[in-house]
Amino acid sequence: MLQRSALLSGLALTALLFGVLSEYGVRADDIKKTEAKEQKLGQDWSAMRDGLNGLFGELQKDANIKPSKICDDDTFLRRIYLDLLGRPPLPAEIEAFNPGRKDAEGRKGSEKREALIERLLAHPEHAEHFADYWMVTMIGRDADGNARKYLRQYLRQAFADNKPWNELVYTLVAAKGKTPENPELGYLMAFQNLKADMAGITSKVFMGKQIQCAECHDHPYEHWTQDDFEGMEAFFRPFSTGQKGDGANRYWFNNDQPIRNEMELVRRSGMKGKYKGPTFLGGDTIKFEADKAPREALGEWLTSADNHWFRNMTVNRYMAYFLGMGFVTPVDDFNSINEPTFPVVLEQMGKDFAASGFNTHYIIKAICSSELYQREVDTNRTNRDDFMYYSRSFVKRLTPEQIQRSIMNVIGVERLNQTPEIRDVPENQLTEEEKAQKKIRDGVQNWKNNLARLMRDAYGADPQMYEFGDFDGTIIQALMMMNADLLNTGMLKNAVTDIVARYPSHKDRIYQIFMTVLGRKPSKMDLAILNATFANWGGSDNAAYEDLFVALMNTTEFITNH
């Protein structure tokens, strides 16, 4: 068994001493009882991982729960690719990992899996995928297209650079300048100068505090009042976004009204309640500081290492994303009647995350290398009803962004039709070779645009709130997968034409199709079914393989993480 960190071992001991291991109803105050045992936080993600393994192992044992087995390499490979890159692995990536055996560098077991996590975190597609995930989380799918474009651009670069989470969020809240030089403006642009939305969404997304209803009346079961909501909204009142120019010369900019003294701060805040100016949630009214906009003060307070709402909210969201459930559900609604299942663990993980410099790779590596993440989904009689102790993995339905990314990668239109950069000159000045390359590039872009349109039609109103076991989707979504004819790529190569051209053997073609679509080799059962039916499929070879390809894309396996 992996050695537990001193921190979480101490927490387990504290829980045992208080006789509450099965419920773990320990208050944050009890943390002080274990401070003498704490190692220095933020230095070693594996210590957090080992602590989670050990602590939840004890919790499961005390609750008489036998955890599911650790999943095999095939399952882990598909799961981690979908979670970190938003798509299943391609055949070459499967062969490099070599499920069940040593990888291309001679590693095996946990060492091989940890190396893959490191590699995927550095992969350009990780930044792309997490930019999509956080853009939807922050502003939704229906936000203005320009706001989405700029916010995604900023997030993609920030994740590629592994920008500390506190710096990333501060930049969004305190964004200045104009586009395209400052794409971080996309976050505040999305609210179209609705200051109440800026305050409510910022509080919900980054702190898990849903204060929106306090805009009109005091919160029904929390202590937030209309005055508290106004205090948060006031940080954004002296601020607005605007736009100038037309067409290619159009740009967006921020506008902070000048505030020269305390009196002007009060006047521009326009307060009607008990507070005289912008006021931190549950905190103090800010004092005037020359050359500092109220939004900057809010950003500093929000992203401070001392703000436990901020650090704990981030940990909870990543736990929910990777494990199917966090310590608080819904993930962004921390309140007095929806407290964390394991408050001490959440608090300590939040401190560890903050001490790491808000390094999101740190917490991702700790979670994804843990036994909690790597459990099988198959249950036994002791853990089939466990929704608390992480004794099994949950089958998760893919988000619309993961489905779109998966479709693009498995059909392979973009990756199989790459061309050199083409000179930016009038078309009549291009060579014949360049014209042919441009035709391919235009065809790829048209195919991608068509897929994006189909996805908007099918998933545009998708709330991305699924119950466990809800894998069916809507009729429109099912029809899109069955009838869109995405393999009709004309002159462009796709995965089926590429596989048929490169692999003359029927067996090899079947293996390549399974690995391309589902990220795994076919099982003995799969092969038995196909061998019994393939000869009677009818039509040309290409048509039969296309039918198999599309059939696999329409399985529940394709739209879930398992």
Print the SS3 string covering 216-242: CCCCCCCCCCHHHHHHHHCCCCCEEEE
Tell whether 78 and 42 lie within a shared domain: no
The answer to whether residues 314 and 353 touch, using CB atoms and an 8 Å cutoff, is yes
Q: What is the DSSP letter of 368?
A: H
* The predicted structure's pLDDT at residue 484: 67
Q: Of 368, 386, 409, which marks where a domain is finished? A: 368
Look at residue 104 and tell me if it is in a domain.
yes
Q: Determine which helix (DSSP H) or strand (DSSP E) holds 542, and give its type and residue range.
A: helix 541-553
* The predicted structure's pLDDT at residue 486: 84
Tell whether 193 and 316 lie within a shared domain: no
Look at residue 40 and tell me if it is in a domain.
yes
Nearest to 27 by CA among 14, 36, 37, 38: 14
Q: How far apart are CA 123 and CA 61, in angstroms?
A: 38
Which residue's entry shows tokens 């002296």?
238
Long-range contacts of 255-261 (CB under 8 A, 24+ apart): 256/176, 256/293, 256/295, 259/288, 259/293, 259/294, 260/290, 261/288
Look at residue 382 and tell me if it is in a domain.
no
The answer to whether residues 182 and 157 touch, using CB atoms and an 8 Å cutoff, is no
Look at residue 38 and tell me if it is in a domain.
yes
Tell whether 34 and 99 lie within a shared domain: no
Tell whether 112 and 205 lie within a shared domain: no
Residue 357 β-bridge partners: none
CB-based burial label for 141 (10 Å; 0-12, 13-18, 19+)? middle
CB-based burial label for 294 (10 Å; 0-12, 13-18, 19+)? buried
The answer to whether residues 4 and 12 touch, using CB atoms and an 8 Å cutoff, is yes
Tell whether 94 and 150 lie within a shared domain: no
Dihedral angle over CA of 110, 112, 114, 116, nearest 10: -150
Tell whether 150 and 295 lie within a shared domain: yes
- Cβ-proximal residues to 337 (8 Å cutoff; 6+ apart), any chain: 221
Tell whether 163 and 82 lie within a shared domain: no
- Cβ-proximal residues to 79 (8 Å cutoff; 6+ apart), any chain: 71, 373, 393, 561, 562
R_g of the chain, CA atoms, integer Å: 26
The answer to whether residues 46 and 362 touch, using CB atoms and an 8 Å cutoff, is no
Write the CA distances from 379 to 24, 386, 471, integer angstroms. 23, 9, 18
The answer to whether residues 373 and 55 touch, using CB atoms and an 8 Å cutoff, is no
Beta-strand pair 239-244/251-256: antiparallel
* The predicted structure's pLDDT at residue 39: 59
Instruction: Please identify every stretch of the chain with a pLDDT value under 50, giving residue numbers as ranges.
Output: 1-6, 8-10, 12-38, 462-463, 465-470
What are the structure tokens assigned to 553, written together? 């894309």
Nearest to 559 by CA among 410, 362, 356, 340: 410
Tell whether 99 and 159 lie within a shared domain: no
Tell whether 345 and 447 lie within a shared domain: no
Q: What is the DSSP letter of 222?
A: S
Tell whether 62 and 84 lie within a shared domain: no
Q: How far apart are CA 463 and CA 449, in angstroms?
A: 22
Distance of CA 63 to the CA centre of its chain: 31
Q: How far apart are CA 363 and CA 353, in angstroms?
A: 7
Residue 17 belongs to what domain range?
A: 6-69+307-368
Q: Determine which helix (DSSP H) or strand (DSSP E) holds 253, and give its type and residue range.
A: strand 251-256
Look at residue 559 and tell me if it is in a domain.
no
3-state secondary structure of 289: coil
Q: How far apart are CA 343 and CA 328, in angstroms?
A: 9
Look at residue 57 and tell me if it is in a domain.
yes
Look at residue 80 and tell me if it is in a domain.
yes
Q: How far apart are CA 520 and CA 78, in angstroms?
A: 8
Q: Of 122, 155, 184, which marks where a domain is finished? A: 122
Phi, psi dihedrals of residue 254, rounded to the nearest 5°: -100, 155
Domain count, the chain: 4
Tell whether 256 and 316 lie within a shared domain: no
Nearest to 473 by CA among 559, 395, 385, 348: 559
Tell whether 110 and 145 lie within a shared domain: no
Q: How far apart are CA 358 and CA 313, in angstroms?
A: 12
Nearest to 539 by CA among 548, 530, 531: 548
The answer to whether residues 240 and 224 touch, using CB atoms and an 8 Å cutoff, is no
Look at residue 387 and tell me if it is in a domain.
no
Q: Of 315, 350, 368, which marks where a domain is finished? A: 368
Q: What is the pTM of this model?
A: 0.89
